Structure 1
């Protein structure tokens, strides 16, 4: 049976120029490089410059992805930006990226599932391609979380960074089996009962301010390991595959302890896990495509490799995707 698969044909990423080492926080709050590393694995992160917006990061990552794919902006039919830190309440950040890339036609929109946003966006892109609504879809995760951090809260302000990653998916014919290249399965989940575990205390209709990030770290940790492991297993099962088929796991880069605990639970060796959290911190919706692009640039992936992506974020929202490179 011939089916249309959403195949990855290009990726890119962008990090702001400013690098913030853990030591920089020591003069501001009661913390230390050792404390941050031991609890998160993070050593440094990037912060956007004054006046540098989420759309700027997204555009830079998108241009790198276009170059990687040998395409121009006009070759893209649809563009999805996953972000929790948009430039404006409206219009969408995606519309600004669309204009900057020279996409004269097609359509663009934002999606908001916080740290799980990229997985949600890939699922939407896959559906658009499978239904024939679009042939090529660019999916971007981009964040400027430094703009919503409480610099007096040492438990959260040291964890996050800014960045963007982009992935271009193209409709190509497949046999309908697990050996096809492209998106093989996606699993999306959410549970609003856990809203207060990870949220921003502002908003248009509540406080008319952007607000600041609030998190119950221990509770999020407990949910993360269980939900990520289950979602990953469900994505593999839906694709007719098992953990033994996985070449690489590209997880949400939130916390090294979560990454290790999840890998152990699903039976994946850390040698197969892409880890960039030490250099980028938690870049929310940008973390998976950023890690994906970095690993691709390093030459880690080979054609036909099965990649498992998984993420969890505020909402709570979580999900996974099985993609054959």
Structure 2
């Protein structure tokens, strides 16, 4: 069986910044209140002229450049997103055309904040079977388009962005992508969802196309689920916590990230944190955090990475990767 490893990484963040100060003017809270509850100081907001496919394309360009791979060498594109440009067609097809790739398979994966790890697991199967050489995996979301800015519980959390990796095949003696684990439990689906825009409410009525979240429930479930799934992955691989160089959790809320690290006994100086200035960009948070930490020199080739995520559905998952 072949090995799957990360050959290239890239990300893209919109240039517009929404600060806590701007939000407090309409929400009736303070900057200190937002930071104490989320760890977020500001978040990136998609431009009016942009859509999710633009974010995905720019992140993909960077990943191709980083991996020194041409679009013609890509065998498949998987885009994890909750916020496509249109109900149909897939964002992945738009990215394929814009990059100038061959007529390769391209599809979107819909699994909320665990979308990137889910796409990583799917890509891993194709690589390890030997049917594909290079797969472009993208996490891209524009959740601010579905955020109710009169709702204190959600408006302070979400931002926009995209992250991408090239997952490639290797026969060398390297670990690469070691293991992925995914779970779901639909009984909590209404703890975080967008009521309108789908087949149940196809015509968006007032606020029905905006996110609705039970923050307290999500917090507790996220901490429990992410702690348990990474423990499960470590156990099945036989890898010890002490072998982990960097912990990359879904950047949902710093208090959640801090609680998971504490449960797993990971020191905070090993936790990659980008939520403070980028906000929660759903499926994009882990690849953005990965790219940020590689670019600033923290993550080096050969480092062992533990990734873990949780999202609406409810879904949760983890991955162990030797970069």
Asked if TM exceeds 0.5, the reply is yes
Comparing 69-78 with 310-319, greater Cα deviation is found at: 69-78
Q: Give the CA deviation at 1:133.
A: 2.7
Deviation at 1:238, TM superposition (A): 2.4
Instruction: Tell me by how many angstroms 1:4 deviates.
Output: 1.2
Q: Aligned partners of 1:102 and 1:190: how far apart in 2?
A: 36
Please report the TM-score for the alignment, with normalisation by the length of structure 2: 0.97
- Give how far 1:105 is off: 2.7
2 CA distance for matches of 1:301 and 1:46?
A: 23
* Alignment-derived partner of residue 121 in structure 2: 123
Q: Distance in 2 between matches of 1:74 and 1:167?
A: 16
- Contact 1:47 1:162 (C-alpha < 8 Å) held by counterparts: yes
Cα distance in 2 between the residues matched to 1:103 and 1:209: 35
Tell me what 1:281 maps to. 279
Q: Does 1:200 pair with 2:178?
A: no
Q: Is the 8 A contact 1:119 1:321 kept in 2?
A: yes
Cα separation, 2, equivalents of 1:302 and 1:85: 32
Structure 1 unaligned blocks of 5 or more: none
Please, which of 75, 78, 81 is the counterpart of residue 80 of structure 1?
Answer: 78
Q: Report deviation, 1:32.
A: 1.8
Asked if structure 2 preserves the Cα contact closer than 8 Å seen for 1:6 and 1:170, the reply is yes
- Structure 1 SS opposite 2:152: coil
Matches of 2:30 and 2:94, distance apart in 1: 39
Q: Summarize deviations over 1:117-174 as a string: whole Å, max 9, x none.
A: 1111100110111122311111100011110011110111110000000011101125
Q: TM-score, normalised by structure 1?
A: 0.96
- Alignment of 1:188 onto 2:182: yes
Across the aligned residues of Structure 1 and Structure 2, the Cα RMSD in angstroms comes to: 1.1
Q: Residue 223 in 1 paired to residue 221 in 2?
A: yes
Aligned partner (choices 136, 159, 163) of residue 134 of structure 2? 136
Counterparts of 1:237 and 1:127, CA distance in 2:
21
Whether 1:105 and 2:103 are equivalent positions in the alignment is: yes
- Aligned mates of 1:109, 1:141 — CA distance in 2: 12
SS at match of 2:151: coil
State the distance in 1 between where 2:128 and 2:178 align.
11
- Separation of aligned partners in 2, 1:222 and 1:275: 20
Q: 1:188-216, CA deviations, whole angstroms, 9 ceiling, x for partnerless residues?
A: 00000010111111133111146110110
Name structure 2 gaps, 5 residues minimum: none
- CA 1:174–1:229 in structure 2 vs 1: closer, same or farther (change >3 Å)? farther
The answer to whether 1:156 aligns with 2:169 is no
Segment of structure 1 superposing worse, 61-70 or 199-208:
199-208
Q: Residues 120 and 188 of structure 1 are in contact (CA less than 8 Å); yes or no, is this contact kept in structure 2?
A: yes
Secondary structure of 1:117's aligned partner: helix
**Which has the higher mean CA deviation after the structures are superposed, 235-244 or 102-111?**
235-244
Residues in 2 aligned to 1:275 and 1:197: alpha-carbon distance in whole angstroms: 25
